[in-house]
Amino acid sequence: MPTKSRFLKVPVEPFVVEPGLTAEQILERMEKISFQGRNLAAAYRVWLRMLESDATIFLGVAGALSAGGLRLILAHLISNRYVDCLVATGAILYHDLHETRGRLHFIGSPDEDDEALKAERVDRVYDTFVSEDEFVENDAWIARFVATLAPRPFSTREFLYRLGEHLWKETGREGVLTAAYRASVPVFCPAIADSSIGMGISEARHEDRSVGHLDTIADIIELTNLVIRRQKTASIVLGGGTPKNFINQARVQAECFRPGIGGHECALQIITDSPQRGGLSGSSLNEAASWGKLNCGAERVTVHADITIALPLVATALSATASKSLAARQAPVFDLAGRVMVVDGVALPDNRFEESE
């Protein structure tokens, strides 16, 4: 009888359907199936191990997650410190602001007549509808808020903290920005100009050229200094885009000022893009290691899946299993009220990198 191959060790176990399975039980069974189901189960385990470590966890989010109904999952992750720092696109934050202000997105269809939608000033995000008139009013609301700020440059982190504060005091409603404000979790938006938040800021600048000045280079310095200060980091990316690179390039930038600091110690990403076309959103975590963004021996997992399918399942499972890890972990403590971010009681350098002594 031929010797059994060393590759044929662990059999696939067919998923057995049973009533009443919890999210964590479903993911546990998915560990023994194949393809993206197995990868999603692995991502859940990796996130749990991040929480069991003392790593500073960065979350990057892109796409239409807020419009698509996931904003309160993101708020839950922030409020309960499943993550320590958020890097988001402007769309994530703007659609969140829209609903936090009491407006809604509506169930629609990708097959609707777009000319008819335009005639009624209804915008479409694939199968989701929203009022253009309400967006115009949001922009004006943002412009009025910007006009109240001091006539000086703001990092997006400071600006978004203040925006979250204003939104909370005006509405008292839960959302991404208000959760980050209340939990003192920093939020960066490196491409803020590419969003309706940027449009609202530009309207304020139109009325008063002394306001509406955002300094995204200050964001680079501040995020890099956070990596230098809290050197053990982990990366979670939902959707790729600008946030993915912004989180990862902080490790590369930190290496310039702290040689040998290395990359993230752990990473997971849930994306829909593929790596073959060379775009960053679909780039593999193995590729990230070649740049020094991720340590070569770091635990990593990529899930190729729609985030509206994957995230509710993973977040629900974590809510049932991560409570002890959340209670025990030593998360960074931030003071975000000033122009300079304070981490664990010590201010980061002001507009310069923290160099080796």
- Looking at the DSSP bridge assignments, the partners of residue 302 are 269
How far, in Å, CA of 94 to CA of 197, rounded? 6
CB neighbour class for 224 (10 Å; exposed up to 12, middle 13-18, buried from 19): buried
Q: State the Cα angle at 272 between 270 and 273, rounded to 5°.
A: 115
Contact 64, 95 (CB under 8 A): yes
| 324 in catalytic set | no
How far, in Å, CA of 270 to CA of 248, rounded? 15
CA-wise closest residue to 193 among 225, 162, 165, 219: 219
315 three-class SS: helix
Q: State the Cα angle at 237 between 302 and 26, rounded to 5°.
A: 55
Active-site entry in 4, 232, 244, 293: 293
Q: Are strands 128-131 and 106-107 parallel, antiparallel or unpaired?
A: antiparallel
Tell me the catalytic residues.
293
